[in-house]
Amino acid sequence: MSWRRRAWPRNGWHRLAAPLGAPLPQRRLFLLPTRFGLGWAVLIVLLMLLGINYQNSLIHALAFWLFALGVAVLLRAWRNLLGVRLSLRLPAEAFAGGAARLGVIAESRRPRTALQVRCNRERARFDVEDGRGEGELCVPTPTRGVWRVPTLSLESRWPLGLVRALAWQAHEHELVIWPQPLGEAETYRADGGPGREEEDFAGLRRAAPGDGPARLAWKQWSRTGTLASKAFEAPPRDAVWLDYADGSGDPERRLSWLCARVLAHHRAGERFGLRLPDRTLAPGQGEAHRRAALDALARCRPAADGEASP
Distance from C-alpha of 28 to C-alpha of 80, rounded to nearest angstrom: 14
Q: What are phi and psi of 278, to 5 degrees?
A: -115, 0
Residue 6 pLDDT exceeds 50: no
Distance CA 116, CA 103 (A): 13
Say whether pLDDT at 220 is over 90: no
Helices then strands, counting H and E runs in the chain, come out as 8, 16
Q: Specify whether the CB–CB gap between 63 and 48 falls below 8 A.
A: yes
β-strand partners of 177: 145
Is the pTM value of this prediction over 0.75? no
Beta-bridged to residue 281, according to DSSP, are 274
Model confidence at 202: pLDDT above 60: no
CA–CA–CA angle 115, 79, 28 (5° rounding)? 80
Query: Residue 233 pLDDT more than 70?
Result: no
Cα dihedral value 91, 95, 96, 97, nearest 10 = -90
Provide mean pLDDT across the span 119-134. 90
Query: What is the mean predicted confidence (pLDDT) over 257-275?
Result: 90
**Percentage, residues of the chain above pLDDT 70:** 76
Q: Give per-residue pLDDT as tens, 139-198.
A: 999 899 999 988 899 999 998 999 999 999 988 899 999 999 987 544 444 444 434 444
Give the lowest-confidence range in 80-84, 99-103, 231-235, 239-243. Answer: 231-235
**For residues 272-293, average pLDDT:** 90
- The DSSP result for 69-103, as a single string, is HHHHHHHHHHHHHTT-EEEEE--S--BTTEEEEEE
What are the angstrom distances between the C-alpha of 266 and each of 95, 190, 272? Answer: 16, 9, 8
Region 42-58: mean pLDDT is 91
Which H/E stretch holds residue 299? Answer: helix 287-299
Q: Which residues contact 201 (CB under 8 A, 6 or more apart)?
A: 230, 231, 232
Q: Residue 80: what pLDDT?
A: 92
Residue that wins the pLDDT comparison between 231 and 160: 160
Residue 86's contacts (CB-CB under 8 Å, 6 or more residues apart) are 20, 21, 24, 104, 105, 106, 107, 117, 152, 154, 169
Question: b/e per residue, 116-145, with b = 16+ CB within 10 A?
Answer: bbbbeebebebebeeeebebebebebeebe
Average pLDDT rounded to a whole number, residues 285-298? 92
Whole-number pLDDT of residue 278:
86
Q: Which of the pair, 15 or 257, is modelled with greater confidence? A: 257
> Quick one: three-class SS letters along 187-232?
CCCCCCCCCCCCCEEEEEEECCCCCCHHHECHHHHHHHCCCEEEEE
Residue 203 region by backbone torsions, left for phi larger than 0, else alpha for psi between -120 and 50, else beta? left
Identity of the residue numbered 38: L
Section 16-44 average pLDDT? 91
Provide the pLDDT confidence category of residue 13 given band limits of 50, 70 and 90.
low
Nearest 5°: the CA angle 214, 219, 225 is: 110
272 has which bridge partners? 240, 284
| H-run or E-run covering 3 | helix 2-8
Flag whether pLDDT at 51 surpasses 60: yes
For 36-45, 68-77, 89-98, 201-210, which range has the lowest pLDDT when averaged over its residues?
201-210
Task: Give the total residue count for the chain.
Answer: 310
Residue 208's pLDDT is what? 67
3-state secondary structure of 49: helix
Percent of the residues in the chain that have a pLDDT greater than 90, as a whole number: 48
Q: Give residue 188's pLDDT.
A: 47
The four Cα atoms 152, 157, 158, 159 give a dihedral, to 10 degrees, of 170
The answer to whether the CB of 169 falls within 8 A of the CB of 153 is yes
Q: Residue 130: what pLDDT?
A: 87
Q: What is the CA radius of gyration of the chain?
A: 32
- Per the prediction, the chain carries an average pLDDT of 82
Position 4 confidence tier, pLDDT thresholds 50, 70, 90 = very low
